[in-house]
Structure formats: C-alpha cells, structure tokens
C-alpha cells in the first residue's frame, strides 16, 4: 500500500513538473534579459528634440466616436529602439513614419497608490514615450501586411462603425465587458467597479470566453451535428474575444488553454490542466516576454490556477452528492451548487490575487466575492448578447435607419441588466465599512492560517508540527496587530501631487481625517482615494475647499458624489447671495461653489461656511481661520481664498490656497498671527503671490509648492522662487519630488518625498 502511494506521487510529480520547470526557466530568463535591455534604453534617452524614423509595430486603437482617430502607437526606430508615440494622424502596422519628437522615459507613480506609467510602458516592451511635433507617414503595401493588418481593421471597424452603440447610455459598460476597452468609462464608473471587486469583468479573460462559448456549446449539442463541423463552427467564435480585445494576457491564456483542451478529444488524451496552464504561460512569455511586467498577466495566471483547482475539487464532491439525490431534488441541487461554486471561485480568485492587489491597490472589499454571485450572471447575459449584436450591426450600413433602429432595440434589451449591474457596483462602493485596508490584510491572513492549521485539511507537515506553526502564527498575529492598532502613528500629513492644483490630507493621531482641497477633475478618484486608503482611511471626516476654482474643488466634488465626505466646509458666501441688491463681483465661470453645495445637499452632507476669526476644533485637530473676513465681495476668487493656520503636534502650518498679493495685504492688515513653521506657498508659486513682506511675517522654515511638472503658466515663477530662497531655507516642490510627507510624533517631525528630487 505504501509502495503504491509513493508510485502515484511520483507519477503526479512527473505530470506537473515539466510545465512548472519550463515556466520558471522562461520567466527568469525573460526577467533578466528584458530588464537589462529596458534599463539600457532609459540611459540612452536623447536630451532634446530629435529627428526620428521607424516602422509601426503596433497600430493601437482609437476611442469609439473619436473622429480624429488619435491613438498611442508603438514604433520601432531605425536603431532598434521601440517607442510609444501619441499620433494625431495614425499610421497602419508596417507603415514607415518619420518626423520630429521629444522623448521621455515613463515615470513611476507620483503618489502612494498611484498609476505607474513606467511599468505600463515596460509591459509593452518600451522605455520611451513622446508626442511628435512633425510627422510624415509613408504607406507600405503588400499581401503579408494586408493579412497582418486584418485584426486591426476588425477592431477599428467594431469601435468606429458601432460608435452609436458604444456612446449610448450603457454603451461604455457594454464596450468594457465585451471588448475590454474601458476608455469610455467615467472615473466614477471605474471607481465603483474597482471598489466593488467587479473590475476584473472589464478585462477580457477566460470568464468572457465561458460567457460566449457556453450558449454555443449548448446549441451545437442540441443540433446533434458532427464533431468536425462543431469544431469548425466554434473555432471562429473562440477567437472572437481575443481579436476584438487585441489579445490581452487573460484572453490569450484562456484561448490557448481552451484550444489545447479541445485537441484532447481527437487525440484521445487528457492533459493535466495545471501542467497545460504552465506550458501556455511559458509560450506567452516566449512570444511576449515583457508581459511579466504587467500585473494583469500574473493576476490572470494565478486566478486561473486557483479556479482550476476549485473546479477539480468541486467536481469530485458534486459526483458524490449526485448519487444521493432524487430526480425531484436535482434542480434545487443545481441552483445551490451554482451559488456555492460562484462564491468559491470568486473567493479563491480574490485570495490568490491578493498579493498582486496589495501591490497595486490599498486593500480589498469584503463584499466582492458575494456581489460577484449576482453580478456575474448579469455580466454573462450582457457579454453573450453583445457579441452577436456586434456581428449584426457590423454588416448594417452606418447612419442608416435600419442601423439606428437596431441599435436602439439592442440597447433597450440590455439596458435593465446594465442598470442593475451599475446599481450593484454603486451600492457596494458606498459601503466603506466593508473595505479592508492594507494594514488589516496581514492580520486577517494570519487568522486564516490559524484556522487552516487547526483543520484536518492541513498538510501532513503542518499536522505533525501544528503546535510550532500555531505558536508562530499566533505570536505573529499579536505583533502585527499591536503594530497596526496600538502603536501611535502621530500626525501624518501628505501634500499630494495633483498636478496644477492643491490637495493636502491631514490624519491626526486619533484618526480624524481632514482634506484641504482636492485637485482638478479626476484626482479625487485617481489620486486622493488610493492615497487615503493606503493610510486605511475609508472616509474623510472634514473636507475644506479654499476657493471654488476647479483645480482645488473638482476632486472634492468627486468624493462627495461617492459618499466619502462627512462634512464640507467652504469660504464665506458671496455678498450677492446674502443681499441680492448689492453689486457683487462678476461671477467666475470656474466657480464650483454652487455645484459643491448642490452635491452635498443631495448626499445629505452638512455644509459650513468659514470666515476669519473662527476656530475649528474636532478632537485633536484644531485650526484658526485667518482670511477672508465676512462675505466675499472681491472680483477674484483667489483673493478671497481661505487661509488656515493649523497646529499639528506643536508644529504650525499655514495653508494659503491661491491667495493673491491683495489678499496678503488684507491678511497682514488684520493683525492676525501669521508666523508658521511650514508654509504652503500660495497660488503654486505665482509671481503676484508670496510677497517679500508676507514671507517676512510668516518666517517659515520649510516652504512647499504644489505645482504641475512643465505647466503652461510657468509656475513657480523665478521671482517668487528668489524671494522664497531669501526667507526660507528649505523649498520642496511636488513637480520635482511628487507627494511630500510630514510625520509628527512626540514633538519630533520628519519630512520625506515620494520621489527623490
């Protein structure tokens, strides 16, 4: 009996080992060779505008409805260096391109939890990117090029010919689910899908292949056609998601595995699914070695292994259960098994990709596995229905009445499911209490390990050494929990890099959170929320807007829309709002104050108006309002920016918004105390702000300038910098260093930057 068991184990190892060994060797070789090549290319970056020539190797695709058809295209220059260029007048694959361009290397993220353009470029095998000033396209023709361009033409045709469908109310969601193109999703939609754990459905993968192929398999089985004819029918359908999405990692892996499994039938063989997965992964890395720099490759690959293991386990359990069922109980059994299998698959996938999520996201949502049970059938219906709709609309002439009627009918049929899907995502995204921040994930994993060790399913090694493993896991849990929950982190203040705007996050020792300004449109979702969640902040207790300009208020509006703000504070009301007959300032078109108030009222968020002389104290957070005095009457919103003096652990910060020279004079004339240790420089370092007199009155030790890299305003101005250098020993700029961090603990403060200046 022992000898037989040992023989079976050796046999299992022989089946699995070849694929894993090959994959490990290919991955290590690809990592070493590609990393060296890309690093060398970054060091050879030209320092000025140069003339370039090259051949288009990847044509890219335009956003649906974009008449200019502008897109990112990969070009291999004549010296062999690949580069990604933003082409306003795109070329086709194989065309010869020349012109003038200034190149730069991709930047890493500029804020905690932010997007890394460098890794995005590396996943494409590119180190340089640029926007050409002059471009000449020489069209190349040939039979081979015609064949190579066919998938690009299909993708462009589907996106542009069906633009009326994609730009409809639910079109962006349908486009992302069926084609994997999320370019039309708003930042709000992307945030809701990401928070609800449904974003994986917008990345075309094996799930989409299952959605599409299951109805085909059912139809062909009922038709009782021959096996060979079934193969010819299903093969084009099998390739459809890959062609439309551009053969991303997930769908490429799923398609190759599916083809390999289908070859088992005529060859009368049954391959080990895990070994097949590793061999397919090896083949993908041989063809595209740079895919290993994309998290999508590893997440898709790991999730496929986890789901395959779950399927194998549940199939064996289901066979045993079916023998004990009567015919009347089969339907109930199938329904229960669907919910059980969906929860298991989703939970396993979420657990396996957790390490990758923690590298790119600030935590996980506990409701994600449950919500997938309801959302996946809706996504399956929309995906399976959208593919035949694409086929029908593609042959109808664009702009005709028939195409318009068909588009309207199809959109109406899919509308209920799309609305339900987005409603579910929105509801889950608003349940901030169910979001598990990054710092809590490790204790939870240790608890799971303890539970696993205590069960009979644990491995033989763990059972034999259960006491030692349990002691190690328990002590680790105590240490990690103490570090997470009981250690006093002190004050944490983050001056976020939101480009040409302001956004500063204050986290007090007790956990009270204040956000002063939120940057321009998009930064609420893409910058503030990821950064806040890196600090385990799920809601903003107090959001303060210094003034209503977009570069300070738009991000706050986005946080209000998704219910992450508990209280909103604004500058004093306009004089015209209080006494209509008073001649007030000319209304600024960029003033978002009314819009903020409207969103706050609809979200039932209380609104307060601050003015000079008020002192705000919330727990261990306190601040004095220094400016403006009374209702706003100035013509310039910047002149009446809120100026706040904040005491954080004995360190005084002066936050000045976009205060102008006139505002500085008014503040100094009021006689209020302006001296501060740290000065947040007004108006991004504009020439008409930060006057010599004002700087002498504040006497800052550190000045922080929130400003965009290579901005069109020329901020910070050289004269303003000269004045700052005279009065302040240390100057930090977000355009040079990314986010700036200030930590204050037990009377000692430290400052760090996200990027080394």
**pLDDT tens sequence across 655-700:** 999 999 999 999 999 999 999 999 999 999 999 899 999 999 999 9
211, 145: one domain = no
662, 741: one domain = yes
Cis omega (within 30 of 0) for bond into 540: no
What tens digit of pLDDT does each residue of 430-445 get? 887 777 776 666 666 6
647, 736: one domain = yes
Residues sharing a CB contact under 8 Å with residue 536, sequence separation 6 or more, in sequence order: 363, 437, 438, 439, 440
460, 514: one domain = no
**Which is higher by pLDDT, 214 or 641?**
641
518, 575: one domain = yes
Q: Is the pLDDT of residue 277 over 80?
A: yes
**Which is higher by pLDDT, 67 or 714?**
714
520, 653: one domain = yes
* CA angle, residues 487, 490, 494, in degrees to nearest 5: 125
The single-letter DSSP state of residue 130 is: E
pLDDT at site 751: 94
Measure the CA–CA gap between 602 and 595, rounded to whole angstroms. 11
pLDDT band per the 50, 70, 90 thresholds, residue 10: very low
In a domain, 49, yes or no: yes
pLDDT at site 495: 97
pLDDT at site 324: 47
Distances (CA, A) of 152 to 58, 445, 464, 647, 738: 9, 44, 58, 58, 38
**Which is higher by pLDDT, 679 or 487?**
679
What tens digit of pLDDT does each residue of 167-191 get? 999 999 999 999 989 999 999 899 8
Q: What is the DSSP string of 13-48?
A: HHHHHHHHHHHHHHHHHHHHHHHHHHHHHHHT--SS
What tens digit of pLDDT does each residue of 318-362 get? 444 444 444 444 444 444 544 555 555 555 555 666 555 555 556
Domain with residue 73: its CATH number is 2.40.50
Residues sharing a CB contact under 8 Å with residue 115, sequence separation 6 or more, in sequence order: 109, 526
In a domain, 396, yes or no: no
626, 743: one domain = yes
Domain boundary among 293, 324, 343: 293
**Which is higher by pLDDT, 454 or 612?**
612
pLDDT at site 205: 80
Mean pLDDT of 215-227: 73
Residue 732 domain boundaries: 491-748
pLDDT at site 342: 52
Cα 648 from chain centroid?
32
Q: What is the dihedral of CA 117, 363, 553, 546, to 10 degrees?
A: -110
In a domain, 286, yes or no: yes
Q: Is the pLDDT of residue 88 over 70?
A: yes
Q: Which residues of 25-61 are buried (b: 16+ CB within 10 A; e: fewer)?
A: ebbeebeeebeeebeebeeeeeeeeeebebbbebbbb
Domain boundary among 277, 293, 309: 293
Encode 684-713 in three state secondary structure: HHCCCCCCHHHHHHHCCCEEEECCCCCCCC
Q: Is the pLDDT of residue 579 over 50?
A: no
In a domain, 316, yes or no: no
Cα 671 from chain centroid?
47
pLDDT at site 465: 58
Domain with residue 553: its CATH number is 3.60.15.10
Q: Is the pLDDT of residue 491 over 70?
A: yes
Backbone φ, ψ for residue 142 (5° rounding): 160, 155
pLDDT at site 7: 47
pLDDT at site 312: 58
For the chain, give the mean pLDDT. Answer: 83
pLDDT at site 583: 40
595, 504: one domain = yes
Count of domains for the chain: 4
**Which is higher by pLDDT, 738 or 746?**
738
What tens digit of pLDDT does each residue of 399-432 get? 889 999 999 999 999 999 999 999 999 888 888 7
* CA angle, residues 162, 164, 169, in degrees to nearest 5: 125
Q: What percent of the chain has pLDDT over 90?
A: 50
pLDDT band per the 50, 70, 90 thresholds, residue 470: low
Cα 108 from chain centroid?
14
pLDDT at site 35: 92
- Judge whether 491 and 620 are in contact, CB under 8 Å: no
What tens digit of pLDDT does each residue of 448-458 get? 656 655 555 55
661, 559: one domain = yes
Mean pLDDT of 716-729: 94
Spatial CA neighbour of 256 closest among 270, 233, 273, 232:
273
pLDDT band per the 50, 70, 90 thresholds, residue 29: very high
What tens digit of pLDDT does each residue of 552-567 get? 999 999 999 988 999 9
Cα 675 from chain centroid?
40
Mean pLDDT of 594-605: 95
pLDDT at site 584: 43
pLDDT band per the 50, 70, 90 thresholds, residue 586: very low
In a domain, 112, yes or no: yes
Q: Is the pLDDT of residue 630 over 80?
A: no
Q: What is the DSSP string of 214-248?
A: HHHHHHHHHHT--HHHHHHHHHHHHHHHHHHHT--
- Give the tokens for residue 198: 């449904």
In a domain, 625, yes or no: yes
Measure the CA–CA gap between 182 and 63, rounded to whole angstroms. 9
Domain boundary among 254, 276, 293: 293
pLDDT band per the 50, 70, 90 thresholds, residue 740: very high
pLDDT band per the 50, 70, 90 thresholds, residue 600: very high
Q: Is the pLDDT of residue 14 over 50?
A: no
479, 553: one domain = no
In a domain, 16, yes or no: yes
pLDDT at site 25: 94
573, 700: one domain = yes
Instruction: Compute the radius of gyration of the chain from its Cα atoms.
Output: 30
Distances (CA, A) of 255 to 234, 237, 240, 437, 738: 12, 11, 10, 35, 41
pLDDT at site 637: 87
- Judge whether 62 and 105 are in contact, CB under 8 Å: no
In a domain, 757, yes or no: no
pLDDT at site 172: 94
474, 542: one domain = no
């Amino acid at each position: 009996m022992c000898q037989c068991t040992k023989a079976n184990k050796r046999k299992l190892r022989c089946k699995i080992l070849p694929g894993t060994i090959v994959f490990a060797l290919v991955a290590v070789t690809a990592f070493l060779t590609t990393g060296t090549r890309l690093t060398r290319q970054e060091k050879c970056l030209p320092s000025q505008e140069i003339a370039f020539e090259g051949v288009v190797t990847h044509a890219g695709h335009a956003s649906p409805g974009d008449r200019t058809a502008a897109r990112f295209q990969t070009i291999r220059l004549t010296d062999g260096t690949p580069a990604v260029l933003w082409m306003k007048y795109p070329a086709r694959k194989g065309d010869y391109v020349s012109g003038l361009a200034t190149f730069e290397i991709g930047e890493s993220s500029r804020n905690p939890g932010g997007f890394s353009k460098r890794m995005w470029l590396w996943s494409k095998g590119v180190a340089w990117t640029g926007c050409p000033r002059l471009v000449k396209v020489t069209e190349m023709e040939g039979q081979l090029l015609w064949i190579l361009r066919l998938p690009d033409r299909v993708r462009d045709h589907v996106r542009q010919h069906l633009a009326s469908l994609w730009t409809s109310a639910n079109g962006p969601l349908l486009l992302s689910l069926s084609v994997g193109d999320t370019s039309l999703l708003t930042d709000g939609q992307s945030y809701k899908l990401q928070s609800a754990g449904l974003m994986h459905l917008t990345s075309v993968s094996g799930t989409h292949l299952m959605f599409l192929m299951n109805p085909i398999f059912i139809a062909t089985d009922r038709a009782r056609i021959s096996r060979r004819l079934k193969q010819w029918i299903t093969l084009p359908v099998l390739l459809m998601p890959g062609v439309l999405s551009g053969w991303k990692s997930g769908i490429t892996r799923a398609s190759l595995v599916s083809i390999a499994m289908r070859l088992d039938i005529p060859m009368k063989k049954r391959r080990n699914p895990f070994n097949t997965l590793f061999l397919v992964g090896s083949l993908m890395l041989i063809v595209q070695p740079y895919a290993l720099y994309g998290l999508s490759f590893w997440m898709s690959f790991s999730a496929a292994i986890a789901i395959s293991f779950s399927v194998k386990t549940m199939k064996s359990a289901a066979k045993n259960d079916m023998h004990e069922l009567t015919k009347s109980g089969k339907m109930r059994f199938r329904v229960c098994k669907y919910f059980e299998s969906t929860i298991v698959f989703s939970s396993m996938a979420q657990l396996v990709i957790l390490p990758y999520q923690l590298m790119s996201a600030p935590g996980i949502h506990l409701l994600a596995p449950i919500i997938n049970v309801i959302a996946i059938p809706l996504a399956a219906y929309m995906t399976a229905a959208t593919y035949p709709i694409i086929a029908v609309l593609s042959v109808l002439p664009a702009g005709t009445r028939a195409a318009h009627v068909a588009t309207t009918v199809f959109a109406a049929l899919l509308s209920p499911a799309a609305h339900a899907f987005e409603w579910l995502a929105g509801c889950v995204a608003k349940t901030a209490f169910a979001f598990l921040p990054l710092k809590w994930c490790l204790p939870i994993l240790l608890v799971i390990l303890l539970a696993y060790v205590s069960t009979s399913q644990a491995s033989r090694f763990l059972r034999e050494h259960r006491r030692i493993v349990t002691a190690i896991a328990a002590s680790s849990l105590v240490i990690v929990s103490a570090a997470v929950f009981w250690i006093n982190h002190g004050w944490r203040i983050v001056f976020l890099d939101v480009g040409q705007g302001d956004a500063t996050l204050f986290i007090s020792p007790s956990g009270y959170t204040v956000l002063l300004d939120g940057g321009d449109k998009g930064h609420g979702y893409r910058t503030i929320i990821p950064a806040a969640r890196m600090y385990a902040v799920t809601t903003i207790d107090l959001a303060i807007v210094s003034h209503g300009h977009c570069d300070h208020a738009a991000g706050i509006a986005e946080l209000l829309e998704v219910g992450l703000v508990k209280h909103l504070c604004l500058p004093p009301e306009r004089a015209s709002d209080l006494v209509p007959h008073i001649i007030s300032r000319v209304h600024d078109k960029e003033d978002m104050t009314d819009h903020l108030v409207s969103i706050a009222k609809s979200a039932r968020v209380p609104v307060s108006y601050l003015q000079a002389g008020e002192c705000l104290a919330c727990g261990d957070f306190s601040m004095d309002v220094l400016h403006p005095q009374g209702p706003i009457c100035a013509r310039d919103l910047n002149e009446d920016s809120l100026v706040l003096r904040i005491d954080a652990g004995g360190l005084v910060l002066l936050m000045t918004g976009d205060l102008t020279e006139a505002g500085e004079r008014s503040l100094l004339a009021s006689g209020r105390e302006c001296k501060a240790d740290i000065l947040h420089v007004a108006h991004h370092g504009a020439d008409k702000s930060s006057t010599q007199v004002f700087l002498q009155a504040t006497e800052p030790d550190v000045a922080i300038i929130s400003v965009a890299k290579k901005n069109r305003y020329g901020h910070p101005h050289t004269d303003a910098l000269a004045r700052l250098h005279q009065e302040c020993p240390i100057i930090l700029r977000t355009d040079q260093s990314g986010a700036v961090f200030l930590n204050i603990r037990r009377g000692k403060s430290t400052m760090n930057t996200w990027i080394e200046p």
